[in-house]
Amino acid sequence: MTQIGLFDLKKKAAVVAVILEKPLETSKKAAKKGADILEIRLDLLGIRDLERAAEIIREIKSEAGLPVIATNRSRAEGGNWEGAEEDRTELLTGLLKYPFSLEEGPDAVDIELSASREERDKVIKAAKDHGKTVIVSSHYFSKTPSPREMKTILAEMFLVRADIAKLAVMPQSMEDVLNLLRVTLEFRNAGKSICTIAMGKPGKHTRVVAPLYGSVLTYASVESSTAAAPGQLPVDDVKKIMEMLK
The Cβ of residue 113 has, within 10 Å, a number of other Cβ atoms equal to: 20
The Cβ of residue 187 has, within 10 Å, a number of other Cβ atoms equal to: 22
Q: How many helices (H) and strands (E) does the chain have?
A: 9, 10
Distance separating alpha carbons of residues 10 and 191, to the nearest angstrom: 10
Q: Is 205 a catalytic residue?
A: no
- DSSP letter string over 112-123? ETTS-HHHHHHH
Q: What is the bridge-based pairing of β-strands 7-8 and 3-4?
A: antiparallel
Q: Which residue out of 33, 122, 132, 139 is catalytically annotated?
A: 139
Output the CA torsion sign for 143, 140, 209, 224: negative
Distance separating alpha carbons of residues 133 and 109, to the nearest angstrom: 6
Q: Which residue out of 61, 132, 166, 192 is catalytically annotated?
A: 166
Contacts of 23 (CB under 8 A, 6+ apart): 40, 45, 56, 59, 60
Q: Is 166 a catalytic residue?
A: yes
Would you please indicate which residues are annotated as catalytic (active-site) residues? 139, 166
